[in-house]
Amino acid sequence: MINLKNIEQAAAVYALIAASVFAFLSFYGTDGETYLFPRIIAVVLALMSVSLLIANWSSKNDNRSDSGYFAEIWPGMVVGLVFLLVMEDLGFYVSSFFAFLAILLLYGVRPITDIKALIMKSSAALAFMAILYFLFWNGLNVRTPTGILF
pLDDT along the chain (150 residues), means of 10: 61 81 77 72 83 76 54 78 82 83 82 81 86 78 68
Q: Phi first, then psi: what are they for 10, rounded to 5°?
A: -60, -45
Residue 53 in contact with residue 17, Cβ under 8 Å? no
- Alpha-carbon distance 144 to 55, whole Å? 36
Q: Provide the pLDDT for residue 150.
A: 58
Residue ranges per structural domain of the chain: 7-58, 68-139
The secondary structure of the chain, three-state, reads: CCCCCCHHHHHHHHHHHHHHHHHHHHHCCCCCCCCHHHHHHHHHHHHHHHHHHHHHHHCCCCCCCCCHHHHHHHHHHHHHHHHHHHHHHHCHHHHHHHHHHHHHHHHCCCCCCCHHHHHHHHHHHHHHHHHHHHHHHHHCCCCCCCCCCC
Q: Provide the pLDDT for residue 136.
A: 77
Q: Provide the pLDDT for residue 1.
A: 42
